[in-house]
Amino acid sequence: MKLSDQIQFVRRNMKKNKLRIFMTVLATTMGCSFLIVLASIGFGLQDSLVEEASSHQPLTQIDIIGKQANDEFEPMTDEWINNVRNTENIRTVVTRSQIHEKPVEITFNEDYSGSGNVTITDFEAEKESNFRLSAGRFPENNNEIIVGYHFKEFLHENAEEGEQMNQNEEGSEPRTFEGEVLNETITLNMQEPDTEELLYQNDYKIVGIAVEPTRDWLSDYSLYIGEDKREELIALAGQEDRKYTDVIAHVNSVEQVENTTNALKDEGFTVFSISEELKGLNMFFTAFKAGLIFVGTIAVFIASIGIFNTMTMAVTERTHEIGVMKALGANPASIKRMFLMESASIGIIGSIFGVLIAYIVSIGANALIPMILEATTESQGFDITFSYIPIQLVLIATAISIAVAMISGFRPAAKATRINVLNALRREA
């Protein structure tokens, strides 16, 4: 028999039992859509967590905490930082020093003041590391600085002694600065905590404002001062034993992060990179998604019971027709192929509708679940992808559905080839 004749035979027989075929396709559709939707939860949660983690830190960033030397942990030194800079694939190294041993006070226009979080850094390295500004520019001389996005919120109005007492009694807080700080001048004062002796005082012009932190609960009140002031301020603060509080290396590409991280570890450095965290996260979700796909496959196997019954009934009902084809010289392999084509057709049709339903459910879940959570928890901003259907999931689910459908039809198809011609011809059509 020609292939076109076999296809025509399959189409004609499927049209004879529309209701039974419809119910079988429906079961396959539900099994396939359940598999996709269930597995899409794993893909959606992974996508959300990876996006959340990578939004807080560049994937090419490696944080270097210190080094194990002589069985003791030691902070980073200038020599070790030069070794890091000379490591293969590292594009730039950002070195930051936070002043925390001596109190620093910021005064602005003599009317506002606040305690400052001073960070000394190399602005050229910050530029190369993609340090971003929400306004202004990078400093061009040592008396220009960048401030954090929330800097002006910690500048409180200076109150007279009587007003301070009234505020304390009433429980109210002093007013914060509400104007613009860009291109304004502030005064930085460092004092000895015990004697209140003034150790350092200098005026700085604010020429840039950093972008808002990606985490909503974080606030950036920092003052970023240039490299030229590092030695002087570190010495005044008495922090020579821990000169650098943050050493951040940036590699050329994401593909080089793992090798560079391993090279730094081999030299004894204690390092952390978001890529390592994501690697462990991806391993967990790979196992999680495999488990979800396995559970979803069970639903497809349950649907295959319907396919097996449908194909068994089809062979029984067409016994006479099969006998006639055999008597006319039809090849048993051709007869087997026709029934396998019919079971495969049920799997293909069910997969197509299953994929469509899965996408509809996925879109609806991503739209409705955040609304329900916001309404029940009275919280805002559930920016989470609950269901995500990548093309590889569609291909996997379709392949499983079609394969299970063909396996279910294999035994009935094999039974059709073993039908005795004489017994089949004696049976009424």
- pLDDT tens track for 281-315: 888 888 999 999 999 999 888 888 888 888 888 77
Number of H helices, E strands in the chain: 12, 14
Q: Hey, what are 341's tokens?
A: 């084509």
Structure token digits, residue 183: 């291109």
Long-range interactions of 325-333: CB distance < 8 A, separation 24+: 325/1, 326/419, 326/421, 326/424, 327/421, 327/425, 330/1, 331/1, 332/417, 333/417
In angstroms, how far is the first alpha carbon of the chain from the final one?
21
Angle at 359 between CA 358 and CA 360, to 5 degrees: 90
pLDDT of residue 115: 79
The residues that bridge with 235 in the sheet, in sequence order, are none
Mean pLDDT value across residues 340-348: 87
Which pLDDT band holds residue 162 (cuts at 50, 70, 90)? very low
Q: For position 159, what pLDDT does the model report?
A: 60
Give the pLDDT confidence score for residue 6 in this predicted structure: 65
More confident position, 136 or 416:
136
* 8 Å CB contact between 13 and 325: no
Alpha-carbon gap, residue 141 to 129, rounded angstroms: 20
Residue 427 pLDDT exceeds 70: no
Tell me the average pLDDT across 183-197: 86
Q: Which is it for the CA torsion 102, 108, 110, 112, positive or negative?
A: negative
Tokens of 27: 């079961």
- Predicted pLDDT at 1: 59
pLDDT 10s digits, 8-44: 767 777 777 788 888 888 989 999 999 999 999 999 8
Residue 357: predicted pLDDT: 94
What is the rounded CA–CA span in Å between residue 360 and residue 104? 57
Reduce the DSSP state of residue 156 to 3 states and report it. Answer: strand
For CA atoms 310, 312, 317, 323, give the dihedral sign. positive
pLDDT, greater one: 83 or 280: 83
Span 106-148, pLDDT tens digits? 888 778 888 778 999 999 999 888 888 999 999 998 899 999 9
